[in-house]
Every structure is written in structure tokens, then in C-alpha cells.
């Protein structure tokens, strides 16, 4: 993967944007310049080495539409004003087109600052899009050197402001000026030797062309290059047979005084057929001054042929044919390996259906999904995929949400329930109201974020690219030295050492080394997405795999986030049903979550309602109301103490009823219970909230309500601790409740009584203690803490835009058990990346050392050092797809 100026400039504290225009308001034109409404569109752009912008290597480019800047004096005035900003480099005011192009350092200024200074000079920045982003499909761009040539071509294309090449998916994402010629950009890419099979713009090729391109990708072994490779291999095999099996030494052809035996002629034909694509790509590499594998292989093949023509009796045609054939095989293998990686993302894209059955005026009509609008109603029959995000308006069914949330069990859906595009209707008939247009649904956002994640280069990937920029030139120097020094300095056989030099050229290619990280990242991220975990970049994948501690918010994460009734303690001869009946009546008109939980529980147990009059909420204490004409109360224990009740001595049973074992232990008098010292503290120590229910004269019972701990919380925490992580719970609850929940789920430590800003401080403290911390929360209330942590993980993000945008990693389902899977995947991904990097380096080193001793042939260098390692690192990376949450 390769990226150019991938940072998005954001708003910040730039220089003063209120610069007054010099020499009054008139620019010197015959007509006064009018100032109107303004808006700016700044985008990252490409910068040549040595560009100014504060000499920052991260300089980017922004373009603004300034229609009133229509003369040289206007342009000079605008340039003078913008030049006052800190961090501004090259400024190109184009008076003939009314456009201003500015290169700047995003760490020191912003597009808003530039816009302000333009307006401060008396010129409006016109509203409307001045740029557009187009994705070009370039399937043959499947390695770093390919990406480099495409980048070089884009750098010189007119109208290109920024670009980002993604060899792992074979796409180039280009930001263009609004008036840029799309065909010119396509021509620039194809002039670099890479066919553009389609774009996502309106001018994209038709569906048939794209389908053909897809078919070609799926049949790499039957492609034109593959056919030429097999023909080349046939000539090479025939030449070997002619020379070694049949011993044919007859001269069968003579060209320009150079004679060719039958074997040599077959070798030349093999080199010509197999080397055609190599030499073509090598030409483009030379044209773009790119020292890549195509240039190196072209040099090696041509050198072998040239040496054979010059040397006379010494023939290196076999080496040339071997290089051409084996490197072509290597390229096919690399393409096949990269297609396997790309297929993992295509599978995500293919989850959503292309067509939908829409109900309009009572008639079912099949239309493309793109034609659906918000408010349409679509019919989804059993076995069909749901085409859009929406709400069920009719029918009920079980829906398989695994493509989005990773849930293994279908979820029941009925009227009013939310459904997602790409999920499968298992059984019943559903009618779904469209809530999001095509492209704005959850699945589309997931695919888009997974694609964008490739632009987020990891530290290892940046190291690899820096290393390879030194490795290849160094190896070329070594190859020249190996070929030249021994024959010249020591009189050794020049043919032998020339072949050794060619072999070293083969080893100069860092392709397997360069792709070792991106293929692992793509494999890990797409595998996670299929299992309901959205990782928004390789940096976050690596970071999650190296955290030392996990901070987990309590409410909604370790607990369900929904209050439920856990205990009902009847008093004074009342039954549980009696207590719930009174509690339901008192809380029926309450809007407090505790009241809603009590009412829901009472309804679920079939307790009848009571007539309620004169309802009153006593702030901070409880409620009162008349139930069937009798005054009743419900609230905190202190509320009842204020009403004059003795909570230390409460009758539990009626006359003649048997006493429970607990009562006999707790009460020293027949049928009595001490609520203050025994029952209430016991319930509160379990993390429960106590509500007392009674009349003016008698206590009727106690109801305990709690945010129930998730069934899998303890197991999840245990697995994280087994993996060597420390787990710390953060909560705004009191110390007693926090301690009870912490003991129940088994965390290492907890922090209680935290406000949102306190959670940020708690995470900062954990960072000081552990160095690397993941924070798990809901992605909304916990957003500041998530942003503070090394990695922010949001739970239940499906359908929640805020959580998807704010978190580094999103668990699409409300499923805490995915956390151990996430850590295991990330941890293994780090291991795979390290294995790929060091294995590719080690094998290159071993082969390079063996070349001067004659242990490594050209064939072995190509097969092991190039094709073998490319297949090896890709296959190793694809192992990540086999990790499952249930393992």
C-alpha cells in the first residue's frame, strides 16, 4: 500500500485571518471587485521533494475558487495576504481561471486560515465543490513498485491535487480539481503501463466492462500474460531438451554474423515471449526513473542477451530465458496471492444485493438498490438479503445479522425493529421502510472504513518503506561489484561472475518485504469485519495487539445498561405479588428508570394494575399516590424513616407462619427483621438499589433493582486476564456498588464515582502505569476517554453513526465476548507481521551470501527470493482469516 499526503487538514488555531487589503479596497482594476459569500475546500495535495511549506515533508495542497481574482494585481494582492500565514509554501494564484492553489504545512496553518486571509484581502471564496474524489480500478497495480510508477504518473497529470494508491485492493483514489479531465488522468495511469478497468465516477465504464474486468481478475491463470508465460516455459523446456537430452549442437540460424544452435534459438524465443511484459514494464520504470523490480529484471535479461551476443562462444541465453519465465511465473503468483487478499474485501462488498423489491402504489417492482429513496417500503421474502438499513413496518421473522454484527444466532425482528443492509431474512415475510439511502447504510460505511483503513500506515510499514528505499540501491551496487570486481581484480571467469551479478540483481527487489505488512493488515481487518469487529486502520490493529491493560466502562459494557428487578422481600404477611402490585401502581406514572424497571417486571409476572390517584413525586426521595383510595409510598429507606417507620424492627411474617432460616438467624424476636443493619446493606453490597414500599401505617416490602451484569462478562474478563492483560473497571457509581460489580466480574481493579472528565484522568493514569491501554465503552458518553486511550473500542456500534466515527475499533454487536477475539486477532497479526518482515529479510540475506559461493542460481533466486517469499508472506497473512470468535 502506498499513500501520498494522506492527512486531512482540519480546523485549528491558525494565523489571523482578518488581514486588511493594502492600498484600500480597490485592486487597481477598472471595475471594483465585489465581495460575496464564501466557502473553501482544501484538500491534501502532492508535493515534490524540496517544496517549501516551511520545508515540511508533510506539506499538502489546497485549491480555492476565487472568481473575482481576475487580473495580475488581484493575484498579487491575494498572494501577499496569504503569504503572511505561518507554514505557507508555494502559492499559485491563477487569475485566468480564478483559482488559487496553496501548499502549506497542516501542522502550522489550515484551509480556514487561508480562506480568511483571501477574504481579508477583499476577495470572496466561492461556495461549491472545487474538488472531487475519484477511485480508479487498476488491478495490475499489485505491489509497491507498481504503485510507485502510478504515483509518478499521477504527479504529472493535470488537475490532480492528491492521490493515494492501494495495491492491496488495486485501486488509486485521486482528488481532482472540479474541472479536471478524467480521461487525461486515465491516460496518465495507462501511460505508466497499467490498465484502468473502471472508476466510481459518472464517466465510469459500463457494467459489462466492469464485469469483464472482474472475470479477468478471477482467471489470472488464463490471462494473456499467463498464456505467454506458459509458451515461454514451453520454449525453455524444449531448449533444455534439445541441449541436454538430444545434444543438438547444430547451428540453425545466423543473424548479423551471430550463430544460434537449436537450443539457443529456443532460449531466445522463450526470453522474448516471457520477457515481453517485463521489458514493457521496465521501459515505464526507466521512463519514470523508478529503480524497481521490473527495471532490475529487464536489465538482467537484456544484460544476459547482450553478453551472449558479445562474448561469442559463451552463451547466457539459458539464463535470460530462465529469468523471463520464472519471473513471469512469480508475477502471476504475486497477482494470485494479492487477489486472495482482495477477495476478502470483495466478499464484504458483495453482501448487499444489487436489486430490491419496492412497494409503490400497492405494486411490487424490482428496481436497482441505488434507486431507492428514504421512506420507500421494500418487501423481503424468506431467504432474501435485506437491501437497505431500515425499520420493519410489517411481518416478523428471524434475521441473520452475522454479516454486520458477527452474531451467530439469528435475531427475531418484528414491527418497529431496526434491520441492516446485507443481513439475511431467514424465515418470515418482512416489509421494511427505507431509513438510509444506498451508500449511506451501515454495510457501506463498514466497507468504506475498511478500504480507508489501508491508508493508515503502521509504524512497521513506514519502517519497511524507509528501509527498502536504501536496500534496493545498495543491492544494485553490490550486484555491479560482484559482476565486475572479481574478473577485473582477480582475473576470475567473467561469465560466472556476471551471472552472479544478475542473481544479485534479482535479490535486489524488496517486493515480498514491502508487502509483508499491508497484506497482513488487510487480512486482519477484513477478517475482523466479517466477524462483527470494525478496525479502522492498521495502526489500531497493531496497537490493540500490544496493549498491557484494558479499561472497561461498567454501565452498558460489563452490565446490560438496563435496570431490572432482582429481589422482592415481602413484609408483614404480604406476598411478592402484593408488593409488586403496590410498587407497580406507585411507579406507573414515574419517569425514573428505576420505576420503569419495576413496572416492566410487574407486567412480566402478570401482576394486575391498581387504580392510581393523587400521584406525587418527592424529589430525591420517592413517590406517593393513592392506590384504590389508600395512601401508599415508595422510595429510599431514608424516606420511610422520615415518615416515622422503625426500619430496625420489621415484621416479616403473619401470625402462625413459619419463620425462614434467615429470619431465625437475624431476628432475636419472633418474626422480626432489621432492615437497616441486615437486609438493606446486604442488597446494596451486591450493587443493588433498594426501594421500600408501604402505606402510612405498614411496610409492605422491599424491591431491589440493579443493572444486571452481562452473562458473559466474567468469562470475558477471565480470558483477557489469561492473555496477560490487566482489566480495570471505570464507573460513576458509588464505591459499594462498584466494588460489588468488580468482585462479581473479576476485574483486577476499579475506579468509582467518576464523571466523564474523571474517566479521562483515570485513563491517563493507566497510561502512565501501563504505557498502552485500550478503553472499552459505548462510543458516545465515553468518547473523551476513548480518544485518550491508546485504542478506543466502542460496543454496539451497528446503526450508531457517532460510535462508528469516534472509535478506533467498533464492536458492531452489543457483545462483550468479542473483546478476547479482538485482542487475540490483533496480537497474532503483530506476530505475523514480524514473521513476514524478518523471514523475508533473512531469506534474502541467506541467498545473497550464497551467491558468490555458487550455491544460489538465478532460478533459485527468483523462485525462493521473489515468488516463494511473496507466496509465503501472503499465505502467512491469510492465516489470520482462520481466527474465529468462538475459538
Could you tell me the mean pLDDT of each successive run of 10 residues in the chain, 887 residues long?
A: 37 34 38 33 34 45 75 72 87 72 82 84 69 84 81 84 80 81 89 86 44 49 88 94 81 76 91 92 81 84 86 78 88 74 65 85 86 90 89 90 71 89 87 86 74 68 83 92 94 90 88 80 85 86 94 88 86 87 87 84 86 83 88 88 74 45 48 66 81 88 88 94 95 82 93 84 94 84 83 74 71 87 95 92 93 90 83 88 81
Contact in structure between 808 and 793 (CB atoms under 8 Å): yes
DSSP H or E segment with residue 840: helix 818-850
Closest among 623, 553, 628, 488 to 788, alpha carbons compared: 553
Q: In this structure, what DSSP letter does residue 633 have?
A: E
Separation of alpha carbons 610 and 283, rounded Å: 89
For residue 504, what pLDDT is reported? 92
For residue 660, what pLDDT is reported? 46
Helices 293-311 and 494-507, packing angle to 10 deg: 170
Q: In this structure, what DSSP letter does residue 182 have?
A: H
Separation of alpha carbons 604 and 398, rounded Å: 23
If one counts every other C-beta atom within 10 angstroms of the C-beta of residue 84, the result is 14
Sheet containing strand 60-65, strands side by side: 60-65, 99-104, 88-94
If one counts every other C-beta atom within 10 angstroms of the C-beta of residue 142, the result is 26
Residues with active-site annotation: 553
Q: Provide the β-strand partners of residue 358.
A: 365, 378
Task: Give the per-residue SS3 of 378-417.
Answer: EEECCCCECCCCEEEEECCEEEECHHHHCCCCCEEECCCC
Separation of alpha carbons 46 and 36, rounded Å: 30
Separation of alpha carbons 846 and 6, rounded Å: 36
Task: Give the per-residue SS3 of 498-542.
Answer: HHHHHHHHHHCCCHHHHHHHHHHHHHHHHHHHHCCEEECCHHHHH
C-alpha distances in angstroms, 794 versus 779, 801, 812?
5, 11, 8
DSSP for 421-434 reads: TT-EE-SS-EEEEE
For residue 456, what pLDDT is reported? 62
C-alpha distances in angstroms, 508 versus 392, 472, 813, 851?
59, 5, 47, 13
For residue 59, what pLDDT is reported? 64
Residue 510 Cα to chain centre, angstroms? 26
Contact in structure between 673 and 702 (CB atoms under 8 Å): no
Contact in structure between 853 and 496 (CB atoms under 8 Å): no
**Cell numbers for 302:** 537484456
Separation of alpha carbons 783 and 54, rounded Å: 34
**Cell numbers for 707:** 443493572
**Cell numbers for 863:** 523462485
Separation of alpha carbons 164 and 452, rounded Å: 10
For residue 37, what pLDDT is reported? 32
Separation of alpha carbons 578 and 695, rounded Å: 12
If one counts every other C-beta atom within 10 angstroms of the C-beta of residue 625, the result is 24
For residue 229, what pLDDT is reported? 93
Amino acid at each position: 500500500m502506498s499513500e501520498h499526503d494522506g492527512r486531512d487538514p482540519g480546523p485549528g488555531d491558525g494565523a489571523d485571518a482578518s488581514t486588511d487589503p493594502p492600498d484600500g479596497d480597490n485592486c487597481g482594476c477598472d471595475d471594483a471587485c465585489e465581495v460575496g459569500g464564501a466557502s473553501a475546500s482544501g484538500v491534501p495535495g502532492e508535493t515534490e521533494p524540496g517544496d517549501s511549506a516551511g520545508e515540511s515533508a508533510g506539506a499538502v495542497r489546497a485549491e480555492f475558487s476565487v472568481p473575482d481574482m481576475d487580473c495580475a494585481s488581484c493575484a498579487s494582492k491575494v498572494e501577499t495576504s496569504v503569504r503572511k500565514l505561518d507554514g505557507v509554501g508555494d502559492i499559485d494564484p491563477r487569475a485566468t481561471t480564478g483559482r488559487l492553489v496553496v501548499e502549506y504545512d497542516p501542522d502550522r496553518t489550515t484551509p480556514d486560515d487561508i480562506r480568511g486571509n483571501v477574504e481579508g484581502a477583499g476577495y470572496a471564496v466561492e461556495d461549491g465543490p472545487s474538488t472531487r474524489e475519484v477511485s480508479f480500478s487498476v488491478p495490475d497495480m499489485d505491489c509497491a513498485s507498481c504503485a510507485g510508477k502510478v504515483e509518478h504518473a499521477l504527479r504529472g497529470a493535470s488537475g490532480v491535487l492528491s492521490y493515494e494508491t492501494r495495491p492491496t485492493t488495486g485501486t488509486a483514489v485521486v482528488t481532482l480539481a472540479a474541472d479536471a479531465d478524467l480521461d487525461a488522468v486515465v491516460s496518465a495511469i495507462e501511460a505508466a503501463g497499467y490498465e484502468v478497468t473502471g472508476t466510481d465516477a459518472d464517466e465510469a465504464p459500463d457494467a459489462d466492462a466492469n464485469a469483464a474486468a472482474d472475470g479477468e481478475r478471477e482467471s489470472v491463470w488464463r490471462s494473456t500474460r499467463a498464456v505467454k508465460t506458459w509458451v515461454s516455459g514451453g520454449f525453455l523446456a524444449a531448449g533444455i531438451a534439445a541441449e541436454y537430452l538430444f545434444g543438438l549442437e547444430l547451428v540453425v540460424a545466423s543473424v548479423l554474423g551471430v550463430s544460434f544452435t537449436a537450443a539457443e534459438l529456443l532460449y531466445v524465443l522463450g526470453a522474448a515471449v516471457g520477457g515481453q511484459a517485463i521489458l514493457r514494464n521496465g521501459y515505464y520504470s526507466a521512463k519514470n526513473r523508478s529503480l524497481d523490480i521490473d527495471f532490475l529484471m529487464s536489465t538482467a535479461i537484456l544484460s544476459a542477451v547482450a553478453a551472449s551476443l558479445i562474448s561469442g562462444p559463451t552463451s547466457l541465453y539459458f539464463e535470460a530465458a530462465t529469468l523471463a519465465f520464472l519471473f513471469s511465473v512469480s508475477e502471476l503468483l504475486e497477482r494470485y496471492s494479492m487477489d486472495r487478499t482482495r477477495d476478502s474485501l470483495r466478499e464484504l462488498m458483495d453482501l448487499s444485493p444489487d436489486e430490491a423489491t419496492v412497494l409503490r402504489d400497492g405494486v411490487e417492482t424490482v428496481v436497482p438498490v441505488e434507486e431507492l429513496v428514504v421512506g420507500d417500503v421494500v418487501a423481503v421474502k424468506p431467504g432474501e438479503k435485506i437491501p437497505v438499513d431500515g425499520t420493519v413496518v410489517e411481518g416478523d421473522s428471524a434475521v441473520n445479522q452475522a454479516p454486520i454484527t458477527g452474531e451467530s444466532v439469528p435475531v427475531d425482528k418484528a414491527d418497529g425493529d431496526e434491520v441492516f443492509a446485507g443481513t439475511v431474512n431467514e424465515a418470515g415475510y418482512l416489509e421494511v421502510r427505507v431509513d438510509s439511502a444506498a451508500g449511506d447504510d451501515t454495510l457501506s460505511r463498514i466497507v468504506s472504513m475498511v478500504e480507508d483503513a489501508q491508508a493508515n500506515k503502521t509504524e512497521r510499514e513506514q519502517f519497511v518503506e524507509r528501509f527498502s528505499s536504501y536496500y534496493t540501491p545498495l543491492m544494485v551496487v553490490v550486484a555491479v561489484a560482484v559482476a565486475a570486481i572479481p574478473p577485473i581484480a582477480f582475473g576470475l571467469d567473467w561469465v560466472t561472475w556476471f551471472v552472479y551479478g544478475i542473481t544479485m540483481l534479482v535479490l535486489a527487489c524488496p517486493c515480498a518485504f514491502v508487502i509483508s505488512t499491508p497484506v497482513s493488515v488487510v487480512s486482519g481487518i477484513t477478517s475482523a469485519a466479517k466477524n462483527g469487529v470494525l478496525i479502522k486502520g492498521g495502526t489500531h490493529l497493531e496497537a490493540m495487539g500490544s496493549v498491557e491493560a484494558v479499561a472497561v466502562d461498567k454501565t452498558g459494557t460489563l452490565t446490560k445498561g438496563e435496570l431490572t428487578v432482582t429481589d422482592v422481600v415481602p413484609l408483614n404477611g404480604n406476598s411478592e405479588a402484593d408488593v409488586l402490585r403496590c410498587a407497580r401502581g406507585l411507579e406507573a406514572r414515574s419517569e425514573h428508570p428505576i420505576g420503569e424497571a419495576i413496572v416492566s417486571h410487574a407486567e412480566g409476572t402478570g401482576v394486575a394494575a391498581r387504580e392510581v390517584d393523587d400521584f406525587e413525586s418527592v424529589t430525591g426521595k420517592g413517590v406517593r399516590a393513592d392506590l384504590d383510595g389508600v395512601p401508599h409510598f415508595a422510595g429510599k429507606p431514608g424516606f420511610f424513616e422520615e415518615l416515622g417507620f422503625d426500619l430496625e424492627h420489621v415484621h416479616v411474617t403473619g401470625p402462625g407462619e413459619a419463620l425462614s432460616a434467615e429470619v431465625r438467624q437475624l431476628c432475636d424476636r419472633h418474626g422480626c427483621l432489621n432492615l437497616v443493619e441486615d437486609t438493606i446493606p446486604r442488597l446494596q453490597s451486591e450493587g443493588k438499589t433498594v426501594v421500600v414500599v408501604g402505606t402510612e401505617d405498614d411496610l409492605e416490602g422491599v424491591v431491589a433493582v440493579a443493572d444486571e451484569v452481562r452473562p458473559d462478562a466474567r468469562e470475558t474478563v477471565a480470558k483477557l486476564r489469561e492473555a496477560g492483560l490487566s482489566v480495570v473497571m471505570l464507573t460513576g457509581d458509588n464505591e459499594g456498588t462498584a466494588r460489588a460489580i468488580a468482585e462479581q466480574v473479576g476485574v483486577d481493579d476499579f475506579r468509582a464515582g467518576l464523571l466523564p472528565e474523571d474517566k479521562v484522568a483515570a485513563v491517563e493514569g493507566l497510561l502512565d502505569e501501563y504505557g498502552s491501554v485500550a478503553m472499552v465503552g459505548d462510543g458516545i458518553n465515553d468518547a473523551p476517554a476513548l480518544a485518550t486511550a491508546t485504542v478506543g473500542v466502542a460496543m454496539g456500534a451497528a446503526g450508531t453513526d457517532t460510535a462508528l466515527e469516534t472509535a478506533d475499533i467498533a464492536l458492531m454487536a452489543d457483545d462483550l465476548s468479542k473483546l478476547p477475539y479482538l485482542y487475540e486477532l490483533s496480537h497474532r497479526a503483530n506476530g505475523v507481521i514480524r514473521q513476514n518482515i524478518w523471514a523475508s529479510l533473512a531469506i534474502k540475506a541467506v541467498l545473497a551470501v550464497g551467491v558468490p559461493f555458487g550455491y544460489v542460481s538465478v532460478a533459485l533466486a527468483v523462485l525462493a527470493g521473489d515468488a516463494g517469499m511473496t507466496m509465503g508472506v501472503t499465505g502467512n497473512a491469510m492465516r489470520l482469516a482462520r481466527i474465529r470468535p468462538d475459538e
